[in-house]
Amino acid sequence: MAKFGEGDARWIVQERADGANVHNWHWAERDCLDWSRALLSKLLAGLPVLSGEGGLTLRTTTLDKLDGEAYVNIRKGKVIPGYELSLTLAWEADATTESGVVKVTGTAEVPYLADENADEDPELRITVRGDDGPLARRAKDAFIAHGKPLVITKIRDYVAAMANGGPAKDEIDSKKISTKAAPAAGGAAVAPAPSVKVTAAPVQAPAAKEKKANGKDKEGFKTIEMTEKFNCRSKDIYEILMDDNRWKGFTQSNARISKDVGGQFSLFDGSITGVNEELQEGKLIVQKWRFGSWADGVHSTVRLVFDEPESGVTTIKLKQTDVPEEDRYFKFLCFKLLNWLISTGFGSC
């Protein structure tokens, strides 16, 4: 999972006075870790579990720890939450005995709470602090029976809140409301609030000098080489990359991909365009690529070589030449999109 703040700057929504939306495919990213800490603390801390039943008073106390990351991406009004968290919740019990009231304390730990498992209840580990005697075991069993379902329910509330946009939901709603003209005092109309503009950060034209005799890159450009392994048949991965319907379904944007040599392709509503130069099903893809933000006439060459040494295991070697030096993010695009397509089911093997 990419960390908040490390996304491509061209995909981040920024407030602009003119309200334009370039290519209409960029992302609004919002860090949600502090918001998550506050919401989970509100949901989980101070919950009454038992109020004297069976001689036990049981309650949660504080959210002792929350580690990880949480963010929300919003694209074309579609909310895409991302989070990987671990948390520790403290609880305490007062057990009434013949000799008086005995206090027992413990923790409820969620080692892994992630968006990829949003439709599943997380693992919840219940432990007792200190001596694990009969009263402690009694309190622990009571928390497992009565406190665990309550905690799981509250965590579901957090998951639902993230799915609805987290802290960005109110901002989205308020922007929608603010764009409608409202009558002001004296009958004057309130001007609509400025809308949001996303812009592709322009890449300045590099000094395009030809390659030198020693084989080095042209000045102002770079070559990228990567190797990745996928648990998938090579022909299936090839079909994923050449299927515009899968791209449309995953990215929620227009895509057009020719499967013929010399045919053109267009991704993300035309933000990426190019031409197929060589195609061998399940073995090779060679394409000319360019970002819309690159200088006129600048194209890179992408070469993907597929190798399936054993059935169901494919290694892909990427070599991409003539990438502008200013573009720090383009190197990750091919494999990141491929991983997304496979993991989201559009490229199931």
User: With contact defined as beta carbons under 8 Å apart, do 328 and 237 qualify?
Assistant: no
**How far lies 343's CA from each of 70, 96, 332, in Å?**
19, 52, 16
Lowest mean pLDDT among 256-260, 267-271, 303-307, 337-341: 337-341
pLDDT over 50 (residue 202)? no
Quick one: average pLDDT of 192-210? 37
pLDDT over 80 (residue 148)? yes
Q: How many CB atoms lie within 10 A of CB 243?
A: 17
Q: How confident is the model at residue 129 (pLDDT cuts 50, 70, 90)?
A: very high
Amino acid at 24: N
Establish how many alpha carbons lie within 13 A of residue 199's alpha carbon, considering only the half-sphere containing its beta carbon.
11
The C-alpha atoms of residue 33 and residue 62 are separated, in whole angstroms, by: 17
The C-alpha atoms of residue 148 and residue 155 are separated, in whole angstroms, by: 11
The C-alpha atoms of residue 319 and residue 341 are separated, in whole angstroms, by: 20
The pair of three-digit structure tokens given for residue 22, joined into one six-digit string: 């370039």
Show the beta-strand stretches assigned E in the chain: 14-15, 28-31, 48-51, 56-75, 78-97, 100-114, 125-128, 196-197, 221-230, 256-257, 264-267, 272-280, 284-291, 300-310, 313-324
The C-alpha atoms of residue 309 and residue 315 are separated, in whole angstroms, by: 8
Give me the numbers of helices (H) and strands (E) for the chain, helices first please: 7, 15
Q: How confident is the model at residue 149 (pLDDT cuts 50, 70, 90)?
A: very high
pLDDT value at residue 150: 95
Quick one: average pLDDT of 158-186? 65
User: With contact defined as beta carbons under 8 Å apart, do 316 and 228 qualify?
Assistant: yes
Q: What pTM did the predictor assign? A: 0.48
pLDDT over 80 (residue 329)? no
The C-alpha atoms of residue 207 and residue 244 are separated, in whole angstroms, by: 34
Place of tokens 């929504």: 13
